[in-house]
Amino acid sequence: MVKVTINKSVLELIEGDITEQETDAIVNAANSSLLGGGGVDGAIHRAGGPKILEECRKLGGCPTGEARITTGGNLTAKYVIHTVGPIYFGGKRREAELLANAYKNSLNLASQYKLKSVAFPSISTGAYGYPVNEAAMVALKAVINYFKTHTDIEQVRFVLFGQKAYQAYDKALQELAK
Ligand code: ADP
């Protein structure tokens, strides 16, 4: 576990399962239909129950880089923020910008709902194929930039699934701290 303070807020990296987090919101790496998928999306809908999918159906999808919100159903987190990361096509299709937007828009939505703590998975680095070392840099920069310009969200936790993802984020954070 790593914990650093940036401006007024805390950034944490942990290895674990995002469905178990007690933050105000957890973020789902959804696909643009918002109608469910595998990976972290499947895990969130399994743990949170059918109410989340029912709410998602009414949202009518979400473009890449944007974010939508539902309640947390049976989860401990009160809300799920559904965002859509880019599919990785080699890095020349504005993937980094779209990935940064997914984080930024998720944080803006949390802010609108006056939420104080948010947990993120490593968006786009599973089925969407974004190299985790590159994605970690984009993700951490987006959150650090938010903390430098806003003080409303007190805590962001990256919940990394497996040692490889955790190590990638740990290394990226060390690079950014230099
Ligand atoms: P994407 O389609 O955005 O790539 P995936 O769900 O396939 O989304 O993968 C995103 C990341 O979420 C991957 O690093 C994957 O290992 C991770 N992941 C899968 N299940 C969980 C979980 N329960 N908690 C946290 N992260 C998870």
Per-residue pLDDT tens digits for 63-89:
999 999 999 999 999 999 999 999 999
Residue 47 has pLDDT above 90, yes or no: yes
- Catalytic hit among 24, 41, 152, 170: 41
Of the pLDDT bands very low, low, confident and very high (cuts 50, 70, 90), residue 178 is confident
> What residue owns the CA closest to ligand 1's atom 7?
126
DSSP 49-109: -HHHHHHHHTTT---TT-EEEEE-TTSSSSEEEEE-PPPPSSS-SSHHHHHHHHHHHHHHH
Q: What is the predicted pLDDT for the residue at 36? A: 86
Q: What is the predicted pLDDT for the residue at 61? A: 98
> What residue owns the CA closest to ligand 1's atom 16?
161
Residue 125 has pLDDT above 90, yes or no: yes
Q: For the chain, what is the mean pLDDT?
A: 98
Short-list 5, 19, 66, CA closest to 161: 19
- When pLDDT is averaged across residues 45-57 and rounded to a whole number, the result is 98
Cα–Cα distances (Å) from 81 to 8, 39, 50, 109, 110, in that order, read 23, 16, 16, 8, 8
Max Cα separation, the chain? Answer: 45
Q: What is the predicted pLDDT for the residue at 140? A: 98
Instruction: Count structural domains, the chain.
Output: 1
Residue 99 has pLDDT above 90, yes or no: yes
Question: What CATH number is given to the structural domain containing 37?
Answer: 3.40.220.10
Of the pLDDT bands very low, low, confident and very high (cuts 50, 70, 90), residue 38 is very high
CA of 82 to the centre of ligand 1 (A): 13
Residue 114: DSSP 8-state: T
Of the pLDDT bands very low, low, confident and very high (cuts 50, 70, 90), residue 148 is very high
Short-list 98, 148, 144, 153, CA closest to 123: 98
Ligand 1 environment, Cβ below 6 A: 17-19, 29, 39-41, 43, 85, 121-128, 159, 161-162, 165
Closest atom of ligand 1 to CA, residue 162: 16
> What residue owns the CA closest to ligand 1's atom 13?
126
- Structural domain boundaries enclosing 106: 2-177
Q: What is the predicted pLDDT for the residue at 177? A: 86
Kindly report the pTM of this predicted structure. Answer: 0.98
Query: Kindly report the CA angle at 167 between 164 and 170, in degrees rounded to 5?
Result: 150
Q: Is 41 a catalytic residue?
A: yes
**Cα gap 81→71, rounded to integer Å:** 8
Closest atom of ligand 1 to CA, residue 43: 23
**Cα gap 166→136, rounded to integer Å:** 9
